Every structure is written in C-alpha cells, then in structure tokens.
C-alpha cells in the first residue's frame, strides 16, 4: 500500500491544530487531542499520523476487497 502524502498541519497559540489534505481542511484538533497529536508527529512519521487522525489511513485496499468472491453480487460469482 502506498505511503500517505499530501497532509499538512498548522499549530496555533490557542492550542488548536488544523490538518489539511492537499490544501483542503481535513480535521481540527483541540486541547489534549492536539497535544497528543503534536507528540506523535514529533516521534513518528507525520504523514502517517495525520492520515490516521483524519481517517484516511484505510485507502488502498478497497478495490481488492470489492473483487473478493464474498463481496461480489450474486450474479458475478
């Protein structure tokens, strides 16, 4: 599966963190969630951390799962 890319974040003095994906707003974190996010970014891969926080970490295997016999319509088996 390809590595996540295109994420960016801005941390504000108020403690808010805004995450964007290719320039579009993806998530806003406040308080302890924002602090935890900043700690995770400092310790690991920032792109992967942002993908997990925004829910975009599951991309890539949907096409494979769609073609699995269990997920096909009854006529295509």
Residue 1 resides in a domain: no
Counted domains in the chain: 1
Q: Give the tens place of pLDDT for each residue, 14-58.
A: 999 999 999 999 999 999 999 999 999 999 999 989 988 888 665
DSSP string, 13-47: TTS-EEEEETTEEEEEE-HHHHHHHHHHHHHS-HH
**Bigger pLDDT: 43 or 74?**
43
Residue 2 resides in a domain: no
The yes-or-no verdict on residue 76 having pLDDT over 60 is: no
- Please check whether residue 12 is in contact with residue 34, taking contact to mean a CB–CB distance below 8 angstroms: no
Range of the domain at 20: 7-76
Model pTM?
A: 0.69
- Using DSSP's 3-state secondary structure scheme, residue 51 falls into helix
- Please check whether residue 5 is in contact with residue 40, taking contact to mean a CB–CB distance below 8 angstroms: no
**Bigger pLDDT: 62 or 26?**
26
The yes-or-no verdict on residue 65 having pLDDT over 90 is: no
What's the pLDDT at 4? Answer: 74
Q: Per this entry, what is the length of the chain?
A: 77
Residue 51 resides in a domain: yes
């Amino acid at each position: 599966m390809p590595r996540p890319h295109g994420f960016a974040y801005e941390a504000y003095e108020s403690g808010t963190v805004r995450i964007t994906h290719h320039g579009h707003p993806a998530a806003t974190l406040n308080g302890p969630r924002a602090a935890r996010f900043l700690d995770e970014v400092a310790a690991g891969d920032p792109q992967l951390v942002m993908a997990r926080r925004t829910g975009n970490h599951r991309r890539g295997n949907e096409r494979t799962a769609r073609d699995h016999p269990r997920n096909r319509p009854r006529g295509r088996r």
